[in-house]
A = this chain, B = another copy of it.
Amino acid sequence: MSGAILWFTGMSGGGKSTLAAAVSARIQGIRPLEVLDGDEMRTHLSKGLSFTKEDRDINVRRIGYVARLLARHGVFVITAAISPYADTRNEIRQLASAEGIPFVEVFVNATIESLVARDVKGLYTRALAGEIPHFTGISDPYEPPTHPDIVAYTDKESVEVSARRIVTALVERKLLPEQVLAAEGRL
């Protein structure tokens, strides 16, 4: 099977990393796999970059660049970064497509109300108090995908349900072997 990029996008605290881990657990040992998590990428590839549009785009392009390098060699790459700008995500999709690398966009869709209510890291409270400039969804834009390949409603469905839907969609697209569905039982 050829490499592919599964690209999670969505606001902070919506469950991108959690879902990426859940999907990754289903693929582990079945396909060559790498998870490029947003926080880790900020550490390894983009330390020092700010959260202006320009710097966010640079960060997202770097993740896309590394994802393509890996996918080119047959790796199933999962990225989990906010990636708030539609144009930048589309640019990465196009660059991947130009190399024949399937790019599957998953919109992690939770309402801003649910994110504020849960506020797992306490960031929304601080952002609403004006303490965090450039906070996506509060003081910085988030552009939802107009045509996402998959939507995960993480404020309405469990991680297990979202992960299963994503994995099923990937099997249907022949990007994962049917074997991953058999793994459902042991998760």
Chain B residues in 8 Å Cβ range of A34:
69, 72-73
Q: How far is the CA of A48 from the CA of B58 in the complex (A)?
A: 10
Q: How many residues of A contact B (CB 8 A)?
A: 17
Chain B residues in 8 Å Cβ range of A45:
45, 62, 65
Contact indicator per residue, chain A 61-93, by CB within 8 Å of chain B (1) or not (0): 110011001101111000000000000000000
Q: How far is the CA of A182 from the CA of B70 in the complex (A)?
A: 29
Q: How far is the CA of A65 from the CA of B62 in the complex (A)?
A: 13
A55 to B: closest C-beta gap in Å: 9
**With an 8 A cutoff between CB atoms, is A47 at the interface?**
yes
Chain B residues in 8 Å Cβ range of A121:
none
Contact indicator per residue, chain A 38-68, by CB within 8 Å of chain B (1) or not (0): 0000001101100000000010011001100
Given A73-B32, A73-B34, A73-B74: A58 touches B66 (CB 8 Å cut-off): no
Q: How far is the CA of A184 from the CA of B58 in the complex (A)?
A: 41
From B44, B61, B72, B74, A65 is in contact (CB under 8 Å) with: B44
Chain B residues in 8 Å Cβ range of A74:
32, 73
Q: How far is the CA of A62 from the CA of B41 in the complex (A)?
A: 10
Chain B residues in 8 Å Cβ range of A75:
73
A157 to B: closest C-beta gap in Å: 32
Chain B residues in 8 Å Cβ range of A32:
73-74
From B47, B61, B66, B73, A66 is in contact (CB under 8 Å) with: B66
What are 22 A-B interface contacts by the 8 Å CB criterion? A32-B73, A32-B74, A34-B69, A34-B72, A34-B73, A44-B61, A44-B62, A44-B65, A45-B45, A45-B62, A45-B65, A47-B58, A48-B58, A66-B66, A66-B69, A69-B69, A69-B70, A70-B70, A70-B73, A73-B73, A73-B74, A73-B75
